[in-house]
Every structure is written in C-alpha cells, then in structure tokens.
Structure 1
C-alpha cells in the first residue's frame, strides 16, 4: 500500500492523469491522437520491456519561437539493444531559416534542404515514430520546446511523452560522486565512458551517439540491479537521484 501511495506521486503517474484528462476533453487534434491514445508506462516497468526512440534535432538556433528545425534523426532501442537498421534521417524544407552561425556548426546550407519534407509532413512522421515509446535525447529541453512549437501546443496543454535525458542522467551521477561543474557535452561524456568518437552535429549520428550513451548510463545508475523506468525519469527531471 505504501509503495502504491508513493507511486501515485511519481511524475509518470501524474503524466498519465494529465493524459487521461486531456483525452477525455475530446479536443485533441487528429494529428496528435496517436500520442494521447497510448497510456503512460508505470514507474516499475523493467527497462528491457520498453520501446525507446532516440531523437535529435538540428536547428537554426535555440529559440523555438524564432528558429526552425532543419533536420531530424531517430533510432530505436528495444530489449536494451540499439538497432542501427531503424535509423531515420530527414531534412526539412526550411532553406530560408538557415543562419550562417549555425551552418558552420551543422554544415546544413540551403541547398541541403532542397527537396526536404514540409513541417506538416515532419510532424506526422515524428508522431508516428514517437507514439507508444519512451523518448531519449541529450539536453531534452531543446527537443521538447521545438516539438511543442511544431505541434502548436499551448503551454498549459501536457505533452504525453516520457523523456529520458542523457545529459541529466550524467549530471545525477556526477552529483552522486561529489563532482561539481561537470562537462556535460555529449562528446565529452562519451569520451569519459570509453565510447568512440562520432560525427557530431548530424542529427542521426547524434541520435545514435546518445542512444549508445544511454545504455552505458543505465548500467551505471543501477549497478547490477534490474533497471526500471521510474528512477531514470526522476533523474532526468531533477539531475540527481
């Protein structure tokens, strides 16, 4: 009973209540219904039972109100295995949004985006790939903000997606070790874990790199115990255990 009472206050339980409340209103737009139809998994679900999709955006800047998504990378994790065959990489038809200061970083120029998908096509594709899955990102606040903008969701409407943030997971481990001001860049964390270098600032490469890191971090967090979803979500939200 005490365990159930504790779980009722867990962020996952709260998100499920919000999802059910929003769904019951009957006002969810058709293109977002796949996200709202799927129940949020419980905190005690084993990690190996989850289907996850690692998501990365390359954008023209960091402000979703003035900047745009330029490319999307996704790759799936099932039964704790990252499957490269599920990798997807899309460019958007957003040539006018390219900025010189970001082009020198992600190497996306207007010509790269010729023939890319529209924002509406991107939203449909992303929704289809995220529905029913746990979403993984490094510094997830960026992907969350741009998703909300693309979905046209008001701030008071919950987005019923479960997120695991590798940046926050590593931060939580650093806090446990008493390490202050850790370098939380994806490339630096991977180097510390002994993972190989990768092609940074490419959406698909970043997604694969983040997925590989997640599997290492999950082993560190649980240290031989059976991984479950709840503690990973709490660390992703708080940045500490």
Structure 2
C-alpha cells in the first residue's frame, strides 16, 4: 500500500500519466503527438544510460503570444559526455522582424535570418532531436512556453517532457537554500564553479555552457557516483 502511494506521488509517474493522456487528445496535432508515443524512461534508470539534449532559444522577447523564436541551439550529452559532434544551431524565418532592444542583447540582425528555417522545418527538426530525450535548460520557463506555443498546444496542455533545469539544480544546493541574494544567471553560476567565460546570449554557446554546468552539478550533487533519473528530476523540480 505504501509503495503504491509513493509511486503515485512520484513526479515521473505523474508525468508518464500525463504522456498517456496527451497522446489520446484530439485537440493536439497528430504531428506532435506521434513524437511522444514512447513511454518515459524508468525512474530508476542510471543517468549514464540516459540521452540528454540541451536546448536554448533566443527570442524577440519574453511573451510567446507576442514574440517569436529567432534562433535555437542544441547539443547532446551521452554517458556523461558533452558530444560536440551533435551540436547544432539554426535561425528561423520570421515575419515579425528583429526588435532593436533584443538585437543589442543577442546580436541577431535581420540578415542573420536570411536562409533560416521556416516554422514547419524548424518544428520537425526540433521534435526529431527532442524525441526520447531528457531536455536540459537553464531557466526552463522561456523554452517551455515558447515550445508549447510553437507546437500549437491548447491552453493549459503541457508537453510530457522531462525537463532538467540547471538553475533549479543550483538553487537546490544546501549552500544556496537560505541565501536570497544568489545570482542564478548562467554566467554567474559558471564563475562560481570556476568554469571558463563564454559568449552569452548565443544559442549555440549557451547550450555548451549549460551542458558543461549540468555535468559539474551532477558531480557536486551526487559525489558518490551515478544517480538515477528520479533523483535528478526530483531535485530539478521546484520545491523538490
């Protein structure tokens, strides 16, 4: 009875139930549903046996209802190795144009978007890469919201994706638990971990930087060796 209750409360068990409901929905595009037909990995799967993909979007703003994705970076982590051969970066065609205020930050100009992918091409590329992967981000809100808007999901319907958030992992460390003045920006966390500087606000550079940070955090959080998916996911869930 207790084991059954604990299993029901397990966040990965809840996510698997969400996945099964998701693929049965009639208001989610079939082109999206078919990428989520495979059951999620077992919660006891060692991290070394999982396939991770680090994801980063550069956008024209923070509101997916008003703004758009300009570029995307992705890179995979397999067996605790950040695989540079899997790194990819693409620009997206947009009719919205580039906002001057964001161009100052991410240095993406209209000419960069020439020859970029259209929405259908980008969506297909993205879903193929994310399929059957654990998705790693730094500050998951942007990627989650823009991805769900891009895929045309109904309001309140969320993708059955295992998100690992390096920002939340860092905040979960005991040294940060009761310190409300910690700077959780990616470059600041990397400075504290003595990781080298990188080109911030470039989607490709950001995914490499985030992937490196994840590997450092996993070593710091689980110094005794390989942990399980459930341990990492619970730690990466706000309040976990």
- For the criterion TM > 0.5, the same-fold answer is yes
- TM-score of Structure 1 vs Structure 2, range by shorter chain: over 0.9
Task: Tell me, yes or no, if the aligned pair for 1:54 and 1:211 is still in contact at 8 Å.
Answer: yes
Equivalent residue, structure 2, for 1:15: 15
Counting only pairs closer than 5 Å after superposition, residues 3-152 of structure 1 correspond to structure 2 as: 3-25=3-25, 28-94=28-94, 96-152=96-152
Number of residues of Structure 1 aligned to a counterpart in Structure 2:
240
Bigger shift: residues 68-77 or 15-24: 15-24
TM-score (norm 2): 0.94
Task: Tell me, yes or no, if the aligned pair for 1:74 and 1:204 is still in contact at 8 Å.
Answer: yes
Task: Tell me, yes or no, if the aligned pair for 1:73 and 1:204 is still in contact at 8 Å.
Answer: yes
Equivalent residue, structure 2, for 1:208: 208
Equivalent residue, structure 1, for 2:153: 153
- Looking at structure 2, the residues matched to 109 and 35 of structure 1 have their Cα atoms a distance apart, in angstroms, of 33
User: In the superposition, relative to structure 1, how do residues 49 and 29 fare at CA in structure 2: closer, same or farther (>3 Å)?
Assistant: same
Bigger shift: residues 130-139 or 169-178: 169-178
RMSD: 1.8
Equivalent residue, structure 2, for 1:223: 223
Secondary structure of 1:200's aligned partner: coil
1:7 CA displacement: 2.7
Deviation string, structure 1 residues 169-202 (Cα, Å, up to 9, x no partner): 1011156654332110000101111111111111
Deviation string, structure 1 residues 23-67 (Cα, Å, up to 9, x no partner): 234664232134321211232211111001000000001111100
Task: Tell me, yes or no, if the aligned pair for 1:138 and 1:186 is still in contact at 8 Å.
Answer: yes
1:5 CA displacement: 3.4
Unaligned runs of 5+ in 2: none
Unaligned runs of 5+ in 1: none
Bigger shift: residues 153-162 or 25-34: 25-34
- Looking at structure 2, the residues matched to 75 and 7 of structure 1 have their Cα atoms a distance apart, in angstroms, of 32
Equivalent residue, structure 1, for 2:238: 238
Task: Tell me, yes or no, if the aligned pair for 1:98 and 1:108 is still in contact at 8 Å.
Answer: yes
Task: Tell me, yes or no, if the aligned pair for 1:67 and 1:97 is still in contact at 8 Å.
Answer: no
Bigger shift: residues 52-61 or 23-32: 23-32
Secondary structure of 2:23's aligned partner: helix
